[in-house]
Chains A and B, each alone.
Chain A
Amino acid sequence: MNWRLILFGLLAAAQIAVPWRMIQQSEHVLQDGELFRFKTEPIDPADPFQGRYVWLRIEEDYVHLTEPETDAIDYNVTGYAILDTDPQGFAYFSTWSTERPTDHANYLKTKARGQAVRWEDRPQFTNPGTHKRTRVHQGLQIDIPFTRFYMEESKAPRAEVRARQAAREQDCWVEVRILNGAAVIEDVIAEGQSLRDLARQGL
């Protein structure tokens, strides 16, 4: 057999193996991973390669750590954010570990991105009637790997409008399966139904 064809056979096997492995990993997480719900607010942008998607701004995109604990963690370092669930059933990241947890699979492998802060207008007691912008420490900011929900070109902007309305009423969340550090989106729910069904119904 022609040596070029043999080498080409090896190349073709590698070319099929790469996307096949992507599918296998994602399916494994979807089938065996635990389901978590994250409160979210969607925004509609586009990717030059993969097309139109709804960008999910996850509310709890930080680990609940104190300011000194956050400062002790290097920027850009890889670690494991451990998941927990609040009384309403929404997920949040409770702790951070530099070692891969061995006793359970509910953690996300990610990178630390420094302090997560929010700014609040708080009333000034010394000068009644005025407000002062105050910095509030939230925890350790992390990279969230499930921020893209791909949709058809014409439906993504429509879905964004409906989902933003739902997000205002705290009625929008993303369902994510998580297993051993990997996360795969299962669906985005707004107004009690899938974002895809919602977009199909129109405005």
Chain B
Amino acid sequence: MEDEGILSAESRSRLEGYYANQVAASTRWATVAFAVLGVLLIGGGIILLFAHNWENLSRSARAVLSFCPLVISIGLSSFAIRRGGTSLCESAGLFHSLAIGACIALIGQTYHLPSNTPGFLLVWALLIMPLIFLLPSTGAYLFYLALICGWSGAAQEEYGQALGFWLLLIPAIIHAVRRVATHARDGLLSLWGLILMLPIALGIVLERTVPGLWILAYASLLSLSGLLGLRLAPAESGWRNPLLTVGLSGITVLTYLFTWQHVWDDIGWRYISYDGGHQAWGIWIDPALTAGLATAWALAAVKGLRHASLPSIILCSFPLFAGAGFCVATYSGSVLINTLLFNAYMLALGLAYLVQGCRSTQLRQVNYGMAVLGLLLITRFFDSDFGFLARGLAFIAMGSGFLATNLIMARKKQQLEDRQQ
């Protein structure tokens, strides 16, 4: 191409550099994956070897052997800190994280200690937390996220509250922010872990003393996530923008849930739970947490509205609709208005994506819009007392609509490509 004058020498060397980097990056990830897999297999093998003769060993021998994985992992991690290198740090971090849990569990087993799951998970999480920063290791970070999420569930079950989760979350957020700022690719993985864990943990940590407050908390959290995604990486979407992807998908799931009548039954301040399963202070903590999330969303929404795009309109409007629905259900007790409102919202959401996808000839958006519309229409059909004939005809019509739209879009795209060529 250079001989024919299509590429200059400078462009050729830049292209070569670009592809060399791509190959290096994929090789690096393969090395990390193999190193992690190797460490897991070796760790598993050591544990199986111990287990084979475990019963025949004396108590003191078992106690000493319980330390072996931990001592090996400490050696490996200190070597990784001195040598550096992603694959070494990742495998050391993961092995070290597993070794700490294994050591404590084996000693608990040797001395028949009583089970204290939240205590065990908390100690495990606290002991691996510094590894995230010292190695640094994304594997150890993901392990830490899983442990604090597990701890919140166990603590809620055992102590009736898990407010400490928010303190435990701080190091994870610091790591994710630093990682995003310095290592774009590793940062994405860290961000995915954090944003997938947060909605699960929020559901566990909420005290549920005020029924229905989760509607506002989740609407604010997911919209905030989406708005932050839009702000931090406006040009990215899909797996390259986890905050936006989880925010928008979460909002679609919530909208669908809100189209059901029973979600809005018996919610609000009139139905506060006082029984033994709920903490009395939940009446203050849950609203404070929700207010915090809503404030953060409002601040992000004020800035997000400056860029009028379909995602930003959805992300800025959704908590307002959810808030209005909560107020209607709380003060009037009428659930029908809310279900109608969110059926209409879901219809508008699907149509908006469909129209925007058609205009910008983006097949992914068209299919997303069609999927949202299809889900709504199919559900309402099964929900209502329509006859088999009507349902059958409607399904055929919807299927035909899907196929026809895809066909038209594919042709339109082909024409555009031909014209460009």
Nearest residue, chain B, Cβ from A184? B111
Q: Within the assembled complex, what's the spacing in Å between the Cα atoms of A150 and B109?
A: 6
Q: 1/0 contact trace for B78-97 toward A, CB 8 Å?
A: 10011000000000000000
Q: Within the assembled complex, what's the spacing in Å between the Cα atoms of A51 and B110?
A: 11
Q: Which residues of the partner chain A approach B63 to less than 8 Å between Cβ atoms?
A: 23
B78 and A5 within 8 A (CB): yes
Q: Which residues of the partner chain A approach B113 to less than 8 Å between Cβ atoms?
A: 22, 26, 148, 184
Nearest residue, chain A, Cβ from B99? A15
Task: Tell me which of B100-108, B196-204, B360-368, B401-409 binds A.
Answer: B100-108
Interface residues of A in 138-165 (CB under 8 A from B): 145-152, 155
With A8-B134, A50-B109, A50-B115 known to touch, is A16 a contact of B55 (CB < 8 Å)?
A: no
Interface residues of B in 96-154 (CB under 8 A from A): 100-101, 103-115, 117, 120, 123, 127, 130-131, 134
Nearest residue, chain A, Cβ from B120? A49
Q: Within the assembled complex, what's the spacing in Å between the Cα atoms of A11 and B92?
A: 15
Query: A49 touches which one: B70, B71, B101, B134 (CB < 8 A)?
Result: B101
B81 and A11 within 8 A (CB): no
Contact of B381 with A by CB under 8 A: no
Q: 1/0 contact trace for A18-43 toward B, CB 8 Å?
A: 11001100100000000000000000
Nearest residue, chain B, Cβ from A144? B114
Residues of A in contact, count (CB < 8 Å):
32
Contact of A117 with B by CB under 8 A: no
Contact of A47 with B by CB under 8 A: yes
Contact of A203 with B by CB under 8 A: no
With A4-B81, A23-B63 known to touch, is A15 a contact of B114 (CB < 8 Å)?
A: no
Contact of B321 with A by CB under 8 A: no
With A15-B74, A19-B103, A22-B107 known to touch, is A146 a contact of B114 (CB < 8 Å)?
A: yes
Q: Which residues of the partner chain B approach A149 to less than 8 Å between Cβ atoms?
A: 112
Contact of A14 with B by CB under 8 A: yes
Contact of A185 with B by CB under 8 A: yes
Nearest residue, chain A, Cβ from B136? A4
Query: B127 touches which one: A15, A22, A152 (CB < 8 A)?
Result: A15
Contact of B77 with A by CB under 8 A: yes
B127 and A47 within 8 A (CB): no
A152 and B54 within 8 A (CB): yes
Contact of A100 with B by CB under 8 A: no
Q: Which residues of the partner chain B approach A72 to less than 8 Å between Cβ atoms?
A: none
Query: A152 touches which one: B55, B108, B131 (CB < 8 A)?
Result: B55
Q: Which residues of the partner chain B approach A53 to less than 8 Å between Cβ atoms?
A: 109, 112
B78 and A8 within 8 A (CB): yes
Query: B70 touches which one: A2, A15, A47, A146 (CB < 8 A)?
Result: A15
Contact of A196 with B by CB under 8 A: yes
Q: Within the assembled complex, what's the spacing in Å between the Cα atoms of A152 and B109?
A: 11
Q: Which residues of the partner chain A approach B115 to less than 8 Å between Cβ atoms?
A: 47, 50, 148
A15 and B100 within 8 A (CB): yes
A147 and B105 within 8 A (CB): no
Q: Which residues of the partner chain B approach A136 to less than 8 Å between Cβ atoms?
A: none
Contact of B66 with A by CB under 8 A: yes
B82 and A2 within 8 A (CB): yes
Q: Within the assembled complex, what's the spacing in Å between the Cα atoms of A183 and B2?
A: 81
Contact of B67 with A by CB under 8 A: yes
B103 and A7 within 8 A (CB): no
A26 and B111 within 8 A (CB): yes
A7 and B130 within 8 A (CB): yes
B66 and A196 within 8 A (CB): no
Q: Within the assembled complex, what's the spacing in Å between the Cα atoms of A196 and B56?
A: 10
Query: A11 touches which one: B103, B111, B123, B130 (CB < 8 A)?
Result: B130
A4 and B104 within 8 A (CB): no
Interface residues of A in 88-114 (CB under 8 A from B): none
Nearest residue, chain B, Cβ from A75? B276
Interface residues of B in 166-225 (CB under 8 A from A): none
Q: Within the assembled complex, what's the spacing in Å between the Cα atoms of A194 and B112?
A: 15
With A5-B82, A152-B55 known to touch, is A145 a contact of B114 (CB < 8 Å)?
A: yes
Q: Within the assembled complex, what's the spacing in Å between the Cα atoms of A8 and B112?
A: 31
Q: Within the assembled complex, what's the spacing in Å between the Cα atoms of A40 and B110?
A: 20
B78 and A22 within 8 A (CB): no
A19 and B81 within 8 A (CB): no
A19 and B74 within 8 A (CB): no
**What's the least CB distance linking B124 to chain A, in Å?**
9
Query: B111 touches which one: A12, A22, A147 (CB < 8 A)?
Result: A22
Seed contacts A18-B104, A49-B101, A151-B55; 16 additional CB < 8 Å A-B pairs: A8-B78, A8-B81, A8-B130, A11-B134, A12-B74, A12-B78, A22-B104, A22-B113, A23-B63, A49-B120, A50-B115, A145-B114, A147-B114, A148-B114, A152-B51, A196-B55
Q: List 26 A-B contacts (CB under 8 A).
A: A2-B82, A11-B130, A11-B131, A12-B77, A16-B67, A18-B104, A18-B123, A19-B66, A19-B104, A22-B104, A22-B111, A23-B111, A47-B115, A49-B120, A50-B105, A50-B115, A146-B112, A146-B114, A148-B112, A148-B114, A148-B115, A149-B112, A151-B55, A152-B55, A184-B111, A185-B112
Residues of B within 8 A of A (CB): 51, 54-55, 63, 66-67, 70-71, 74, 77-78, 81-82, 100-101, 103-115, 117, 120, 123, 127, 130-131, 134
Closest 10 CB pairs of A and B: A26-B111, A145-B114, A185-B112, A150-B109, A12-B74, A50-B109, A49-B105, A11-B130, A152-B55, A19-B107
